[in-house]
Structure 1
Amino acid sequence: MADSTDKLLRDYFSGRLKLMAEIDPKHKQDIVDITFCLSVIKPEHSQVIKRYYSDKFITWDEIVSEVGKSNPAIRVWRTNFKTLLNIILQHGDEFINLRQEALRA
């Protein structure tokens, strides 16, 4: 079942989030956070995430056959990515502040 993170990712990959950011600036940070999270995971994992969320009609079984990995493996990649994204979305400012404090010390 899709959750709010799934919806956010679908909006990001469809371009809808960019349009929403023009109306509500808070979505600009969502775009930055998703882009950051995609940049820090393995490229293979990033490609799977992009492939799945950019096509709302594709299934995990189709992704599995395209990638040649097991279904449980790519679902773990997705779960881990969503966990990372949720942490950044909820606590990103705290991480930035901690990093700045560490750099000053």
Structure 2
Amino acid sequence: MADRTDKMLRDYFSGRLKLMAEVEPRYKKDMADIKFCLSVIKPEHSEVIKRYYSDKFITWEEVVSEAGKSHSSLRTWRNDFKTLLNVMTQHGDEFIELRHEALQV
């Protein structure tokens, strides 16, 4: 079952989130969070995420077959990425504040 994070990722990779951000600035934060999260994971994991969410018609089984990895490994990569993204979207500002405080010490 798709959740809010799945929808946000589909919107991001389809370009829809960028259009939404032009109309409603609050979506810019979602775009920045996704871009950041993609930049801190392994490139191989990032490619799997991009492949799955950029094509509305691709199945998870096709992504698994293309990647040549186990279904459970790719599911773990996706779930870990979604967890990271959820933490960033919910608590990202707090992390930024903590980092600034730590740099001042």
TM bin (shorter chain): over 0.9
Q: Counterpart in 2 of 1:58?
A: 58
Counterparts of 2:8 and 2:73, CA distance in 1: 22
Query: How far off is 1:83 after superposition?
Result: 0.1
- Give the whole-Å Cα distance in 1 for the aligned partners of 2:24 and 2:58: 30
Residues 18-73 of structure 1 show CA distances to partners (whole Å, capped at 9, x for unaligned) of 00001100000100000000000000000000000000111111111101000011
Contiguous gaps of at least 5 residues in structure 2 = none
Q: Which residue of 2 aligns with 1:9?
A: 9
Distance 2:5 2:65 in 1: 25
Equivalent-residue separation in structure 1 for 2:101 and 2:31 (angstroms): 25
Corresponding residue for 1:22? 22
Distance across 1 between alignment mates of 2:46 and 2:97: 27
TM-score using structure 1 length: 0.99
Structure-2 separation of matches of 1:15 and 1:59: 20
- For 2:28 and 2:80, the matched residues in 1 are separated by 23
Q: Which aligned pairs between 1:21-40 and structure 2 lie closer than 5 A?
A: 21-40=21-40
Distance 1:18 1:10 in 2: 12
Give 2:43's aligned residue.
43
The Cα RMSD (Å) is 0.4
TM-score (norm 2): 0.99
- Structure 1 residue ranges, 4+ long, deviating more than 6 angstroms after superposition: none
**Unaligned 5+ residue runs, structure 1?**
none
Tell me the percent identity.
73
Count of aligned pairs between the two proteins: 105
